[in-house]
Amino acid sequence: MKTLPFYKNTYKTEDPKAVFDEFMSSLRYTISTWSFFVDWSKVKEKALRYNTELNLLNSLIGSTDIENEFIALCSKYPEVKKVLPLLIAIRHEKMVNMRVFDEIISEEFMALDVFSGNDSVKLLTFFVNSGLKSLFEDRSVKNLVDYVLGIEVGMDTNARKNRTGTAMEIIVEKLLKEYVNEKGYEYGIQMTPAKILERWNISVPSDKSERRFDFVVNVEGKLFMFEVNFYSGGGSKLKATAGEYIGLHKILADSGFNLIWITDGAGWKSDHLHLEEAFNKNDYIFNLSMLNKGILKELF
């Protein structure tokens, strides 16, 4: 930890242990807004994208000759085939290369592009064995447009982790811009070493080829690299992250660059030892409370 007047002015101490205790005590349990739960605009857009195809398939619900009517519908309107995987909550692009193994379906079945081809036997095999035939036949679903809206809501929950990360970046960028714009400094978002070299003609070392710094601020030729994350839960990821940023800090510091790691979340309470190790070895580790109290002014 690099001693800053901020610690003495704000926490009345410059003792690393005391500062770390303040850091831990001010961790947030959540940064989630209401949009965290479901991104409704995205869900509705995806569901309504196939409104025509889904309404065509609605005609099969409750059919007494469903297999023949299904093949006839797919022959007349082949575009409906692309939405079939969605009805079992799988994106089309993932399904076409999927292989299924059981006594009935051979490996080669899913290796073929069933949904854009003209093999009615394989298409019907998928329709029956995936359970879609029963879904249509017993009227479990009344309207496929509403049904797919529900599927998209469920699939959207998988994106919650990304939304938390995005929310953290949005918060940090808002605070960062206030100070950067006030001073007239340049900054970039999601900057790779190659992008930094192209924009500012400054060569930055890195620990891995795919490294993307969440933010990079150029203070009159002196670069500050920011990494931002939020951990609401514990796990082995925390230890790996702390170790990663200890290593990255050393690589950058040895070449005269600054790494600022902004992290938060109650997940760190379950693994404070690895975070404290990084806190002692790295120059700058802040949380959102520190940013809100103005530590970035001192940093620049």
Burial of 9 (0-12, 13-18, 19+ CB in 10 A): exposed
Task: Indicate whether 37 pLDDT > 80.
Answer: no
Task: Indicate whether 109 pLDDT > 70.
Answer: no
Q: pLDDT confidence of 35, banded at 50, 70, 90?
A: low
Task: Indicate whether 72 pLDDT > 80.
Answer: yes
Query: Residues 234-251, buried b or exposed e (16+ Cβ, 10 A)?
Result: eeeebeebbeebbebbee
Q: Residue 287: what pLDDT?
A: 97
Share of the chain above pLDDT 70, in %: 86
40-49, 136-145, 152-161: segment of lowest average pLDDT: 152-161
256 phi and psi angles, rounded to 5 deg? 85, 20
Query: Which pTM value belongs to this model?
Result: 0.65
Q: Determine contact, residues 214/228, Cβ cutoff 8 Å.
A: yes
Residue 285 in 3-state DSSP? strand
pLDDT digits (tens, 9 = 90+) for 218-264: 999 999 999 999 998 888 899 999 999 999 999 999 999 999 999 99
Mean pLDDT computed over 197-202: 96
Q: Which residue has the higher pLDDT, 297 or 56?
A: 56
Q: Cα 126 to the chain's mean position, in Å?
A: 32
Q: Which residue has the higher pLDDT, 108 or 214?
A: 214
d(CA 97, CA 102): 17
Burial of 158 (0-12, 13-18, 19+ CB in 10 A): exposed
Q: Which two tokens stand for residue 92?
A: 């089309």
Task: Indicate whether 111 pLDDT > 50.
Answer: no
